[in-house]
Structure 1
């Protein structure tokens, strides 16, 4: 009985950690926009503060030698996955500025479907009729989210660019996921994330706009530090610590907290909201994502849950 209670307690604790991590990750857009800084500056300092926070965590858990434990043969994949991750941040944060936090997050959540398509096209993984049906449902959801803005596209070119950047961000996140899969067993997740942040620091330091930083106040630095310490350090630790302890169904369900937090923060901070049609589109995208992640059959056939990790 004690063992059973302990197991339930650990599951509850891990579920809470996962939920908090997902909800916090959805507020990254709020922090990014609130800095008032150019996107290159935002991503650079996210990487800098994130690297500092994660380095401290890695050293606390296993010692600083863990940072040098990556095998030489894995470095090409580590570098590619790191570059793709920071470009994903760059595109997504710029999309936040050009559209809105909530809307860009909706588009960004198409990433599971790019992973499925990439698996089918590049890795020769089979695409069932159910999987294809979920992909079509996600596409319908995307159309629903864009339809209310179709009339403004010709006059609001900035918004259209933002939509494109959100799609680019989701594609680069897909590339990060696929390359990270290949090194997953050879590198600890926290070490890999630390290296990714260091790669971002090196990649974006030439683009740093020092002039815009000179007039920044403590509040601006607080938003920048929060992106690194909270959204890259704390969030990553919460997610990576909870993933092995909770079932796939819980992970898939908790993923809804990310766009929910993004939409709520966008509304509370900037008064932006989505239309009813866009809400339906968001629901379709997230439902399709749940179906893909859990391996659900579409609405035809017998329901059979087949956990699938992305």
Structure 2
């Protein structure tokens, strides 16, 4: 593919990743309990994605899904919406930027789960980069050790961000088995599953924020579920892996900028170093960079 052909999908990818990093802002500014936030994200997201599928003439794709695929669709959908629930609650208890940093452990869970349970090879390089990523996690938490001893709410938020990354990894692995279902169709079904799952927990007493509240909630569905998904899934097939891996950096960057500009929160140099290690290790795993084997090979020469 020529460089000019990469420009448009690269811009789409970058925009999608940057927008996704602002989801925490919409969640917090809505002023709603986390169950309500996820419920309305699923509601508005399902409507937008269904409209998109129909606009492209793909309505019949919903009817052509094989019966054997539905259990995996259900499991992947539940994992996705539980991931949203844990992540949005982590935003409330820690900060958007900090929770996003921890959330980027998800590629390493995928590698570990695939290696331990799906028979995929765990190379020394992958294990080495995973160790680098968890060193980064330690660095991000280190300046907050004192707070963790006195603020259990913050500690719970850290745990929820880790749980969110685990459930997103589970979503990724289960959706691999339903590749025949188009991504926009699958995303619509995931939102519908979340809508049904969280309807019993949705509270109406707090829905008194007027138009601004509904604007933030609708934005989560329209922007972060509809527009972001369309941008990303339209860009992915047209881009090489290195560009996709590099584009992932826009997500935490947008989250950290949001924290700084809107809430006046910043991270320490130690936490910044931890973030760099986590993202660098994720990029290395996606691109297959050597670490341990490369150094061993050099030592033999």
Contact 1:59–1:66, Cα closer than 8 Å, also in 2: no
In structure 2, what is the Cα distance between the partners aligned to 1:251 and 1:265? 22
Displacement of 1:104: 0.2
Are 1:242 and 2:235 an aligned pair?
Answer: yes
Alignment partners' CA distance in 1, 2:150 and 2:191: 37
- Is residue 87–residue 169 contact of structure 1 (8 Å, CA) maintained in 2? yes
Contact kept, 8 Å, 2:124 with 2:292, in 1: the verdict is: no
Q: Does 1:177 align with 2:175?
A: no
Q: Which residue of 2 aligns with 1:191?
A: 185
1:70 matched to 2:60:
no
Matches within 5 A, 1:286-305: 286-298=279-291, 301=294
Q: Distance in 2 between matches of 1:239 and 1:266?
A: 23
* Residue equivalent to 1:308: none
Unpaired runs of 5+ residues, structure 1, are 303-310
Runs of 4+ in 1 over 4 A off after TM superposition: none
**Residue of structure 2 aligned with 1:95, choices 54, 73, 90:** 90
Match among 144, 148, 156 for residue 151 of structure 2: 156
TM-score (normalizing by structure 1):
0.93
Contact 2:44 2:222 in 1 (8 A): yes
Residue 10 of structure 2 corresponds to residue 30 of structure 1:
no
1:11-44 superposed Cα distances (whole Å, 9 cap, x missing partner): 1101100110010000001111110000000000
Q: Matches of 2:6 and 2:271 in 1, distance apart?
A: 34
Match of 2:196 among 202, 217, 232: 202
Give the paired residue count: 296
Q: Residue deviations 1:102-149, cap 9 Å, x none?
A: 000000000000000001100111111111110100010000000000
- Of the three residues 131, 134, 145, the one matched with 1:136 is 131
What corresponds to 1:224 in structure 2?
Answer: 217
TM-score normalised by the chain length of structure 2:
0.96
* Map of 1:9 onto structure 2: 4
- Aligned equivalents of 2:62 and 2:217: distance in 1? 24
Whether the aligned pair in 1 keeps the contact of 2:124 and 2:293 (CA below 8 Å) is no
User: Which residue of 270, 275, 285 maps to 1:277?
Assistant: 270
CA contact (8 A) 2:245 2:283 kept: yes
Residue 99 of structure 2 is aligned to residue 113 of structure 1 = no
Whole-angstrom distance in 2 between the partners of 1:132 and 1:174: 17
RMSD value over aligned CA atoms?
A: 1.3
- How far is the alpha carbon of 1:299 from its aligned partner? 6.2
**Partners in 2 of 1:298 and 1:122 — Cα distance?**
24
Distance across 2 between alignment mates of 1:128 and 1:299: 9
